[in-house]
Structure 1
Amino acid sequence: MAVSLSNNFSLYNPPKTLLHKKPTPSLDFNPSAISFSISKTPSPFLFLSNTKTPFSFNSSFSVKASNFSSQINDQDDVHLDDVKNMVNDEEERSPTLKSLLKIYKEAVLIGDERITSEVESMICKVENEKNELVMKTSTLTAEMNSGKERFIRLQADFDNFRKRSEKEKLTIRSDAEGEVIRSLLPMVDNFERAKQQLKLQTDQEKKIDASYQGIYKQFVEIMRSLRVAVVATVGKPFNPLLHEAIAREPSQEYKEGIIVQEFRRGFLLGDRLLRPATVKVSAGPGTMKQSTVAKEPTEQSAAAAGVDDSR
């Protein structure tokens, strides 16, 4: 039996022993360009029995171009070079679902059940492999998405940890600076008390005061470099977050709630309060009465930003 496809070349080269026999009647289908020559020759799809058969299933139409030269009709328009190129291309490709379907159709047409069953098994195998690949792809996609989500969460956690660490570092540094500066504040008060007790009457006392002022000025510069500032008091509204009121009295000069006197300086380290200022607050205009706190000389202790330029 010989099969001629629409591409005008035969898939089978009949054995030489049968070429001299009288050909049997043939059925020609011109519209489809497919002709079937009915004979008792072996099936063209016995590709598994012999490696030298004209058709190999594993190579998907692995027919050598040289076998076609004796079967091409002189009236055909097919060129030998085109046939060779087509065969070479088919030999280089492994069986695909498209080629299997093509073989399956041809096997059904000639009624070869063995080829049909083998093609069906191969098609099922291809479908199973496809399903396995789809499942693997879905699994890998899910794992990739899960890994991406974990990476985003870890990155967010790391950013939060870094910000928290930086904040804690600044807090620890500020606490350490605050403790050191807070321990030096009594020294500021002592410097101011000493100045108030000095009475500059002789040249020797003036020299001592000049030396004292030089040391005090240097100390103030160091406090300024550490961002230490003085809490504003006299003439400012009372703020319980910055001031500590120890007395309250009527005042003709200041309105109610305004600080009229400072007893002890308060200090800030940046925006952080180191020590509140001790003050007296005005009760507004009224009968002048003696304050509940005895008047004391106002402490004019200086800090980083509160030292007079005259000193």
Structure 2
Amino acid sequence: MTDEQQQLETPIETPLEESVKGTESREEAETPTETALEVEVETVTAEGTQEETKPEQVIVALTEQIEALQQKLKEQAEQFEVLKSSHIRLTAEFDNYRKRTAKEKQELETQVKCKTIGELLSVVDNFERARNQITPANDGEATIHKSYQSVYKNLVDSLKRLGVGPMRPEGQLFDPLYHEAMLREYTNEYPEGTIIEELVRGYLLGEQVLRHAMVKVAAPKPVEEEETSPSLTEPESGD
């Protein structure tokens, strides 16, 4: 097909037809649709039927809200007091538990230490007996005596560093918490219950008794019974 034939077959619009089409397009754009009109009518109707809110109703509503908030605040305050009391109680219980645990730990350590040191006291007694009873006869025995006395001194110094100390009960009144009476001596030279002599030395670990001191205690002499019946003599008979 030639170009001339294509130009002949293409419809040619006249200026009049173009003017008519432009007018129709403007009318369609200016005319509101049915949906937009319905929405506008419904909006106007709703605004017309809306009632005005009265001040009394606003006050009532605000009062109710305030009361609700006050009630909620009161409940929150009560919950806070409950939680506060619970916290204080738990804190006190934990503090008591901490103190009780520390005390029990200290007591356990003291018991273990007392038991361990108590086993060494018999060794200390043997050293003291040897020092008091053995008298070196020559230089060799003197050397041996001096060597084990040095060991004894080191042992005593170690016990002192641990807090161990001997009791000195002579002249004190007998106390069953610290002393154990082994002998009683009747005498008037000391008040009754006075400790005259320490037979076996006692030891303390701080204020804890490691071993009670075995002592001799003074007791008053018994009072001798005096004769209460005078001798009767027969009266002399007259002549």
User: If the length of structure 1 is used for normalisation, what is the TM-score?
Assistant: 0.53
The number of aligned residues is 177
Q: 1:49 aligns with which of 33, 44, 47?
A: 47
Offset at residue 286 of structure 1 (A)? 7.0
- Is the aligned partner of 1:232 residue 2:168? yes
Confirm whether residue 251 of structure 1 aligns to residue 187 of structure 2: yes
CA shift for structure 1 position 121 = 3.1
| Alignment deviations for residues 94-127 of structure 1 (CA, whole Å, 9 cap, x no partner) | xxxxxxxxxxxxxxxxxxxx53x54333332212
Give the superposition deviation at 1:200. 1.3
Q: Give the conservation status (yes or no) of the 8 Å contact 2:204–2:210.
A: yes
CA contact (8 A) 1:255 1:285 kept: no
Letter in 2 for 1:243: H
Asked if the contact 1:238–1:258 (Cα under 8 Å) also holds between the matched residues in 2, the reply is: yes
Larger Rg belongs to: 2
Structure 2 stretches lacking a partner, 5+ long? 1-45, 224-239
- By how many angstroms is 1:196 displaced? 3.0
Partner of 1:148: 84
Aligned residue type for 1:207: T
Q: Deviations over 1:36-76 (max 9, x none)?
A: xxxxxxxxxxxx938xxxxxxxxxxxxxxxxxxxxxxxxxx
* Cα distance in 2, alignment partners of residues 119 and 235 from structure 1: 100
- CA distance in structure 2 between the partners assigned to 1:119 and 1:267 by the alignment: 94
Identity within the alignment, % = 38
* SS of corresponding position for 2:87: helix
Which residue pairs with 1:276 in the alignment?
212
Pick aligned residue for 1:171 from 62, 85, 107:
107
Aligned residue type for 1:241: L
Please give the alpha-carbon distance, in whole angstroms, between the structure 2 residues aligned to 1:200 and 1:236: 35
Counterpart pick for 1:195 among 131, 134, 149: 131
- AA aligned to 1:240 is P
Q: Take 2:184 and 2:201, find their aligned partners in 1: how far apart are those partners? A: 18
CA RMSD of aligned residues (A): 2.2
Report the secondary structure of 1:49's partner residue: helix
Contact 2:127/2:149, CA 8 A, preserved across alignment: no
Q: Match for residue 205 of structure 1?
A: 141
Instruction: List structure 1 runs of 4+ shifted beyond 6 angstroms.
Output: none
Shift of 1:153: 0.9
